[in-house]
Amino acid sequence: MLERLQRRLGLQIIPGVFFTSAGIAALFVALAVPFDKVVADSFGLLTGWVAHNLGWFYILSVSALLFFLISLAFSRYGNIRLGADDSRPDYSNLTWFTMLFAAGIGTILMFWGVAEPISHFANPPFDGVKPGSEQAASDAMTIALYHFGLHTWTIFAVPGLAMAYFSYRHNLPMRISSLFYPILGERAFGPWGWAVDVIAVLGTLFGVATSLGLGTLQLNSGLNYLFGVPSTGLVQVILIAVITSIAATSVALGLDKGVRRLSQLNIVLAMALLAFVLTVGPSVFIAEGTVQSLGTYLNALPRLAFWTETFKDTDWQRQWTLFYWAWTISWAPYVGIFIARISRGRTIREFIAGVLLAPTAFTLVWFGVFGLSAIQMEMSGQIALAEQVQQDPSVAIFAFLEALPLSGLSSALSVIIIVIFFTTSSDSASLVIDMMTRRDEQPSLVRQRIFWAVAQGVIAAALLLAGGLDALQNVITSLGLPFCFLLIFMAVALFRALRADDRGYSMNELVQGRAFPEVVAPSETKQENDYVSETADRY
C-alpha cells in the first residue's frame, strides 16, 4: 500500500521511513492545534514522569558516553583513521573548527549566552548559596559551561564518530541505521533499520522545530525592542512562516553560492558581535572571570556529571539539565552526520580531541564575554537584568545589549544573526531528513526537501501555540528518550567494530559470517553525501 502511494505521489523515498515519520508528525500537529491545552498537559505529565523516573538515566548515559570517548582517545583504537589507513583530513584544522562551531552551537549560544548565567545567578540551584552573591556568580558560570561544554559535544561526537567510521572504513550508507550493522547484520537495511531511522528523523524534526521555536521567541523580543512589534502568538506564527519560507527557498535551490556566502557572513557577524561586547564591556573582568570559570568548571565537572538532585524535591534539573540533554540528543543525528562528513581522514584520537575540546573552548569564550558581562552589570546595579530574564528569557540578549553603547545597532545585528542561524539550520536539517528517508540510489527531489522544511515550521508553530517555552521543553524532554537508548547502542556497535578492526577481522566475520553487503557503490556514496557537502560548503 505504501509503495502504491509512493508511486502515485511520484516520490523517491523509503516508504516505511518517510510515511511513518510524516504520519507521526502530522498526527502531532493535528492534535496539538485544536487540543493545545490537552496536548500541553499530556506532555507535561509525561515529562514529569520521565524526569522523576528516568532523569538519572539521562545524566548517567551522557556522562558514561563522555568517559567512553575519552577512553577511546587514549586507547590503541585512537590511531585508527576514519578512512583508508593512508588517508589524510579533507579540511585544515582551522576550517574544521569553524565548521564545528557552525554545525552545533551557533544557534543555541545566541539564546542562552546571557539568559543561562543570569538565571542561575538569580536562582542558585545549590543549597546555602545566596542569590546574587559571588558564589552564585561562580556557580552560574560553572553550570552554563557544564550544559554547553564537554557533555553537549559528547552527544554530538558519538553518532558523528560512529557514522564516519562505518561510512569511510566500511562503505556503509551515511545513515543512522548503518551504525547498527554490527548488531543487526543485514536487518539494518530492513524494517529494523527503518525503525531506527524513523526515530532519528523524528528526533531531528522535533529538535530543529524546538530550536526554531526558541529562535522565534527571541526574534519576537528583538523586534519588540527595536520596532515595538507586539509579542503575541500571531506574530510568532508569522515569523515562523517567514523563516520557513526562506529555508524552503534555500533548500529548493540546493548548492547555492549565495546561501553559502550568507552562512559564512553570519559567522563573521557573530564574531563581530563577540568582539564588540568584549571591547566595550568590562574587558579585564571578562578575562579574569573566564580563566577562573575554566578552573571552577574542571573542578566541579566530576560532581556535576553525576548530580541528580537526589536529596532535593525541586523541578530545577527537569527544566535545565534534562531539557538540554534531550534537546541535544534530538539534534544528534543531524549534527552527527554533518561532523562525520567533514572529518574524513582524521584519526579517532584527533576526532575526539577536536570535537570535544575546540567547541568547548569557544563556548568558554562566548559565556565569558556575554555571561560574565551580564553578571557584572547585575552585580554593579547597572541594570536589573535578572528580573527581566526571569520574566522572559528570550529578551535576555536585547536587555543586555541595551546597557551597552550603540545598543540599537548591536540589537539589529543580533536579529540578523538569529534569522540566518535558524534559517540555515532548518535548511540543512531538511537535507539531512530527506537523506534519511530515501534510498541510496534515489535522487533527492525538491518537493521532498521542501516538505520537511515546512514540517519543521508547522511543528514549531504548533508547539508555541500549545504552550510556548514550557511546551518546547516538555515535548523535547519526552521525545529525546528513545534516541538516548540509540546513542548507547551506537557506542556498543562502534566498540565491537573497533575490536574486530584492531584484531584484523572483517565486518562479515563480526556479524557471524554473513557477507558484507555491497549495497553502496562509490558513486552512490558520493550521491548520498552531496546534500551534506552542500551544508559543509556553506561554512
| CATH number reported for the structural domain that contains residue 404 in this entry | 1.20.1740.10
**Within a domain: residue 127?**
no
pLDDT at 328 over 90: no
Alpha helices in 123-232 (DSSP H): 134-148, 150-170, 181-184, 191-227
pLDDT at residue 524, rounded to an integer: 41
Give the span between the Cα atoms of 157 and 336, in whole angstroms: 6
**Within a domain: residue 129?**
no
**Within a domain: residue 126?**
no
Name every residue whose Cβ is closer than 8 Å to that of residue 277 and which is 6 or more positions away in sequence: 369, 370, 373, 401, 404, 410
Q: Which three cell numbers stand for residue 488?
A: 548507547
**pLDDT by residue (tens digit) across 185-195?**
778 888 888 88
pLDDT at 275 over 50: yes
pLDDT at residue 263, rounded to an integer: 64
Name every residue whose Cβ is closer than 8 Å to that of residue 238 and which is 6 or more positions away in sequence: none
Give the span between the Cα atoms of 212 and 245, in whole angstroms: 13
**Within a domain: residue 492?**
yes
In terms of residue numbers, what domain contains 68? 2-120+134-537
Of 424 and 308, the one with more pLDDT = 308
**Within a domain: residue 158?**
yes
**Within a domain: residue 125?**
no
Q: What pTM does this model have?
A: 0.85
Q: Please, which residues bridge with residue 81 across strands?
A: 347
Q: What does the DSSP assignment read for 430-488?
A: HHHHHHHTS-TTS---HHHHHHHHHHHHHHHHHHHHTTHHHHHHHHHHHHHHHHHHHHH
- Going 157 to 160 to 162 to 164, the CA torsion angle's sign is negative
User: Using the 8-state DSSP alphabet, how is residue 381 labeled?
Assistant: T
Alpha helices in 281-406 (DSSP H): 283-305, 316-317, 323-341, 348-380, 385-391, 396-402
Confidence of residue 261 (pLDDT cuts 50, 70, 90): low
Total domains present in the chain: 1
pLDDT at 369 over 70: yes
**Within a domain: residue 239?**
yes
Alpha helices in 75-149 (DSSP H): 93-104, 106-122, 134-148
Give the span between the Cα atoms of 189 and 192, in whole angstroms: 7
pLDDT at 45 over 70: yes
**pLDDT by residue (tens digit) across 436-466?**
888 877 787 888 888 998 999 898 888 787 7
Average pLDDT over residues 270-276: 92
pLDDT at 54 over 60: yes
Give the span between the Cα atoms of 322 and 474, in whole angstroms: 10
pLDDT at 149 over 90: yes
**Within a domain: residue 503?**
yes
Confidence of residue 257 (pLDDT cuts 50, 70, 90): very low
